[in-house]
Structure 1
Amino acid sequence: MNPSLIDTPALSRRGLLKFSLGASAFLATVGLGASLSGCSPSHPASGLAILRDSDLPFLRAVIPVMLEGAVTLDNLSAATDATLQSLDNGLAHLSPSMLKLTHQLFDVLSLGITRGPLTGVWGPWENASADDIRQFLHRWENSSLDLLQQGHGSLLQMVMMAWYSRAEAWAHCGYPGPPAV
């Protein structure tokens, strides 16, 4: 007799921990492998201090989706460029260990071998629709894997801090700016 779906045991806590540990090791290995193999050059893109050419397609795809509702469509391209500049400036002030983790996150999101299974975006980021990116963000935000939830939180914080540190973002949220000293 074949066991039914009801008869199969659910994933135990131990099984989930093993899976999470394996996923963490996989992501760390891929990130390290990408860094060591030269898939992600360590030199910054032209005009930037930290962000690399390999990081830009992902960021240029995800930032407009994350800024939806905070920026008009007419200003979205300029807001994306401004957010990239602010993000680059913020990353330049990170500790070396935090910067390394950030680069590993961007490497995992840039490599096709990890991008597809982890994000659901199987092609290049430039070809991803806004809905594809929303689904990826939703998937990571609600993942059962803490590592993906942390990745979502990190991305969200980095992009939002980069955007809302800019004076042009303040009017949207009603912030009059810092007091004159």
Structure 2
Amino acid sequence: MPTVLSRRELLKLGLGASLALTTVGVTASLSGCSSAQPAAGFMVLRDSDLGLLAVLLPAVIGPHPALADNESAADATLRQLDRSLAAMSPAIHKDVSELLDLLNLPLTRGPLTGVWGAWENASPGQIDAFLIRWRDSRFDLLRQGYKALNQLLSMAWYALPMAWAETGYPGPPRV
């Protein structure tokens, strides 16, 4: 049976989550774990973001033939995501960067995700367990993080023509 939080408990949880995210952001910035500079050839995404997102992409998209058969599909997806993020507001950039910092910082990665080592060394089972844990969490903050990751990666993948054939989408109409 789901736990019902009182208004006071909900406010405490929201304040605690805000403080935790602020602390993580400041810690990551001061420790150098979070580079504000985009990766070479990218406008928004940083080197640490690319590794994490490349590992999460197959788990989010699933067994799509174009992703499995095309070695450059993951890179194309990350570049599409970068272009999409570059067109969004600075507030969105900040929120996405904070989420990715939270997932990349070893201090928070292990307890929040169950992945205690580098993302590149995580097994597909660990990644699936992390995504399910966040999707089904009783904490709204983690569920929102799951939705953001899922939507960002899905949006970027399905914006690419290579993803359309399996879905039966013929592409946008020609004008």
Is the TM-score greater than 0.5? yes
Q: Secondary structure at the match of 2:157?
A: helix
Cα 1:31–1:43 shift into 2, 3 Å = same
Name which of 104, 114, 119 aligns with 2:113.
Answer: 119
Find the aligned partners of 1:44 and 1:115 in 2 and give their Cα distance. Answer: 21
Find the aligned partners of 1:112 and 1:94 in 2 and give their Cα distance. Answer: 28
1:142 aligns with 2:136: yes
Aligned to 2:58: 64
Name which of 96, 120, 128 aligns with 1:102.
Answer: 96
1:94 is displaced (CA, Å) by 1.2
Find the aligned partners of 2:40 and 2:96 in 1 and give their Cα distance. Answer: 19
Q: Which amino acid aligns with 1:78?
A: S
Structure 1 or 2: more helix by fraction: 2
The within-5 A match list for 1:1-181 is: 12-13=5-6, 14-15=8-9, 17-71=11-65, 74-75=68-69, 77-181=71-175
Matched pairs, number: 172
Find the aligned partners of 1:110 and 1:41 in 2 and give their Cα distance. Answer: 11
1:11 is displaced (CA, Å) by 7.7
1:75 is displaced (CA, Å) by 2.0
State the structure with more CA Rg: 1
In structure 2, runs of 5+ residues without a counterpart are: none
In structure 1, runs of 5+ residues without a counterpart are: 1-9
Contact 1:120–1:136 (Cα < 8 Å) also in 2: yes
1:76 is displaced (CA, Å) by 5.5
1:33 is displaced (CA, Å) by 2.8
Quote the sequence identity (%).
52
Q: Which amino acid aligns with 2:112?
A: L
Find the aligned partners of 2:104 and 2:72 in 1 and give their Cα distance. Answer: 23
Find the aligned partners of 1:74 and 1:80 in 2 and give their Cα distance. Answer: 9
Task: Render the CA deviation track for 1:71-103: whole Å, top value 9, x for unaligned.
Answer: 356425422111111111111111011101110
Find the aligned partners of 2:26 and 2:77 in 1 and give their Cα distance. Answer: 27
Aligned to 1:6: none
Find the aligned partners of 1:48 and 1:75 in 2 and give their Cα distance. Answer: 24
TM-score, length-scaled by structure 1: 0.87
Find the aligned partners of 1:12 and 1:114 in 2 and give their Cα distance. Answer: 24
Contact 2:67–2:74 (Cα < 8 Å) also in 1: no
